[in-house]
Amino acid sequence: MRWLLQVVAILIVTAMVAAAQQNDVNAAADSSLKYQISATLTDYCPVERTLPLHEVMFDFHNKSCSARRHVAERKTPTLPNGPLYTNVHIAGYQLIDWSEGHPSPSTRNTAKVEISKTATTLSAAGWLEKATCTEGSKGDVLAEDTFWQAKVVPEVQLIEDVEQEETAVIAELVPPQTTAVLQLSATCGSDRPQQLRYSVAPIVDGVAQAPVYNDELKAHETAHESGLDGGAASIHSQWSSLPSKGASELSITINGKGVKEPANSPAP
């Protein structure tokens, strides 16, 4: 009877060991088939900016001893220009010092000149009183001319579309699942074309390894298919927009064998 109990005990232990080994094999097989998908969306956000431009100078003189002079001049500064700028316009200006101790505008004798602006120009217009003159044997002689001088720094306002990288969206692809769908959203939902980068990394013992595949999709690219793991598997990606502004959906399908475990992955 004792030998029968010993045989039963040996059979139970053997079955338990075999089951544990099979579980380890299954776990290793499952780990080689799991993937982590990471997707990062890049959008553009409008930012309002106020920027100083290069200074412009108005310099009016009157050397007449007998008459007031009316003056007017228009300046057209070079405004920022580029595909990321919109609503560019002159919003204001600042007068700056002509020289130390002589604030702008710098004047001599009597003058009245005013500065005005449009969305693209600065103008100065007004009048200068006659110059300071003395009497000479042949008439008036110029002693000092009348002048009005100003250095002006235009200030421009614009809307700049600034690149905004959203927080990565992560999903796992676990057998028997073959497709992962990632919901993406943009903070600003600009009308400019978005960009999307994504990576595929194997999960070994619950830890995501280095990516085995990286790709970048252009704005709402309908489909993209590539080989994975030397052709042992294929990856199919599709990026499409959703009805809500700034929202999109990335679908990743992986068919075929799972990727091989990295050489430096821990032994099961």
β-pair type (213-217, 169-173): unpaired
Tally of domains in the chain:
2
pLDDT in tens, 37-47: 999 999 889 99
177 and 250 both lie in a single domain: yes
Which pLDDT belongs to residue 17?
A: 47
Which secondary structure element, helix H or strand E, spans residue 27, and what is its range?
helix 2-33
Q: How far is 85 from 190, CA to CA, in rounded Å?
A: 13
Which pLDDT band holds residue 171 (cuts at 50, 70, 90)? very high
206 and 216 both lie in a single domain: yes
pLDDT in tens, 179-202: 999 999 888 877 788 889 999 999
| Structural domain for 186, as ranges | 30-45+162-256
Of 160, 179, 196, at which residue does a domain stop? Answer: 160
Of 160, 176, 197, at which residue does a domain stop? Answer: 160
Residue with tokens 């050397």: 63
Per-residue CA distances from 264 to 36, 204, 233, 253 (Å) = 18, 11, 21, 27
- What the block records as the tokens of 226 is 């590539």
Which pLDDT belongs to residue 261?
A: 41
268: three-class secondary structure by DSSP: coil
Q: Is 80 exceeded by the pLDDT of residue 2? A: no
Residue 59, in any domain of the structure: yes
Flag whether the pTM goes above 0.75.
no
192 and 111 both lie in a single domain: no
Residue 3, in any domain of the structure: no
Residue 167, in any domain of the structure: yes
Residue 85, in any domain of the structure: yes
